[in-house]
Structure 1
Amino acid sequence: MDQTPNITANRLPPDMLARNFSDAHPPLTEGQATIESDRCYFCYDAPCIEACPTGIDIPGFIKKISTGNIPGSARTILESNIFGGSCARVCPTEILCEGKCVRNTQEDRPIQIGALQRHATDWQMRAGAQPFSRAPLTGKRIAVVGAGPAGLACAHRLAMQGHDVVVFDARPRAGGLNEYGVAAYKLADEFAQKEVAFVLSIGGITIENEMVLGRDITLASLRAEYDAVFLGIGHAGVRALGIAGEYFPGVRNAVEFIEDLRASPTKSDVAVGRRVVVIGGGNTAIDAAVQAKRLGAEEVTLVYRRAAENMSATTVEQEWAQTNDVTIRYWSAPMRIDGTEDGVASVTFARGVVKDGRAVYDQGDYTLEADMVLKAVGQLFLPDPLAEDEIVIEGGRIRVDAEGRTTMTGVYAGGDCTAGEDLTVAAVRDGRNAAEAITADLMKAGN
């Protein structure tokens, strides 16, 4: 982005940046993992399993940790979720598995399921051995578009089933949002790339980087060359605010800001303002705000148009932002951004309230001084690369059935480009389930 006088890099010394962007939640020690696993009731009809989109046998893997069977624990996790390592770090466990834990009461606390999952999967990745092997080769070739969690989960399961898989990705590096869109302190130490390498170690998967659907490849060409196609193309678009001043120097998309941080090994070359305003209410907004503060911004304010309970970022994420000295203002809708060709000066917001069950912004306005504004008001699926194909787009996403089949024979889809929760664990589930459907359909067709 264009530099402005108040937006600079190197606001903090290298050693402080290294601390600020190291692993935010250190792993459990062996002793801590044993003690925590012994707290589990090992419920037979475990509500935590129902709350996990990938259906991991949570009591089963925790029981194996408590008995010292770490390899068995890791296998139990990974056979349901091959991205168990990153999901242990980025999943909102407080509203998924841990939120449904029977120990989650006023008098007690839930089992640290995410931390225990990390303990087991980290051991497996350190061991270096892929716990799964390929079935006898089928001679079938499947194309996967998108090397994020959905695409790679699909590719891994297809490789296990004996198919050969070619993954096409628009980016220079595989990993999708794990590589480009998650706060650096959540997946520290190149973890995203280590996990990609672990997934690929099963064999039978080739990745073609910087291959853009609609430019370098088309759905029609893939259908002609491969036995099936899986689309895990995520969200390529970013919502605009639609207000005056949105394109002043110093205003940028939060996803691009996070990408810059992910790409920088030291963070010292990433510029940040003194006074930063982040507009949005999801995990991207939280990640951008906290990282701006950890880069050395003096003031960071996250502004959301509704109440705290309406934010897609969980209460735990909101508290994490506040712990990192981020101010959160609710019930504030952006009206305009003021500035000059030299940069941003301020952002004005309308105050809102609920009237007759709907939000009304008639409570006056206020202005925040700012020299940097990060927009985090949502990402969009862009259907343009599929414009020439007879594939149904519904509600702004690719329409699929329960197993990931699109309206086009032989084409499947999953992850953020389809309807559902925009979560890493949900994308993994979609990719895995689509792989099962692909194999079942190929067998049914007698191919």
Structure 2
Amino acid sequence: MKMNLFSNIFSKKQNNIFGNIKAKVPKTAQDTIPFIEAYENGLFLTGENTYTLIFAYNNIDYFLFRDDEKEDIYEKYMRLLNTLPSDIEYQEFTMNTEVDSDVLYRTLLPNKDSEEKYPDIAKDYKKVIGSYIENTSAAAAKKIMLIAMTYTPQNKIDNANILFKYYQNLQQLFTNLHSETHQLGAEEVFEILYKLYHQFSNIPFMFPKNVLSTGGRIKDYIAPSIFVFRQKCIEIGDSYTRVLFVKSYDRNIDDEFIHDLHDNNEKIVISKHLRRVDKGEAADMVKKNLNSLEGSIQKRMEINHKNGTNFIPYSLSDREKELKDLQDRLGGTGCELFEVSIFVAVTAKTEEELNELTRYVQNKAKSHQVVLDTLTGQQAKALDAVTLFALSKFNSKFNNNIKTYLLSDAAGVMIPFSHVDHFAEGGIFYGENQIT
């Protein structure tokens, strides 16, 4: 599926159980983790009077569907985006993690009784299954798929609990997409943060139950040994991370871009941030830009008149046509405007491997007519944008090459779904998923 898009049209009281309420300039690895407090109800304090709710959702077999089924999913996903409240920041977070080979071996290999009863068959079976497991571990990754919603109450009457109402509304819309959701508790989020900051570690996340009573801090168990922010990368513990952003799209974007970047076993995280622009605000933005553009065209016509010509540059006339088309479409009931930014974080064991992985994802993006660029000198801010708290500190007024504006149909094409690996412990080996 491809979609023609408008691109760069504009420039532009809880029960506290963890953390300290006062936000500080990061001085330690722990301070770099971008939440201030966590609460028993699953909310996180992520800024001054700013709260975040996080939930997981299931993948679906989107790329196995027929074209008409894909179109149905696309329409429902676009409807989901259109219902997003304009007062929240919305983030889709996907992260590649390693396939657990131990689970595969434990589940698929024959038990001791079978080996003793049929030693020759068991030997051959183990060899065949072992090759499947090795191929899976080398070529595929398990994906963590999350949504974060961030809300800042504007007055004393407002309450962060409205995030639960917003979540319930989205829950039904995801059900319509055949994707189940569940809100993450604080400990589940801590574990995912640990995986994000320790991507090559074999040590599982351990959360001591008595951490608070003994005076400890949960961030001590999440944080890596060190964060070192360089111009074009970050040292995170014993690994290196680089955050890139989508700099530009082709006018005809397709629905395979995000899936293709993740279709490997590399350490890749993609965070897509969206904010639905209120209809009135969107109309004012279009009108302001159109008036400014028409003023530029008028000045050019006056200059042309003095020079005895009547030529208007194509860039101006085409932009005017786009803005008028956008103005007409925003007048319809099924079209919304979104402020969108997409960040891609790649992680490797060495700087050389990091550079190689960077070139790989940039080339993958180019095959979809998408340009990925490194956020030079802004890696600290970029890491916050990647992390699962719907925090993007890039102001569109000063970073208008990072954020762009898309209509519902274009935003909806960048669909997060791909395919599902069907695996159940205790089941019978049925075969290998040829898609993955």
Shared fold, TM over 0.5: no
Normalising by structure 2, we get a TM-score of 0.24
Normalising by structure 1, we get a TM-score of 0.24
Report which structure shows greater RCO (CA 8 Å, sep ≥6): 2
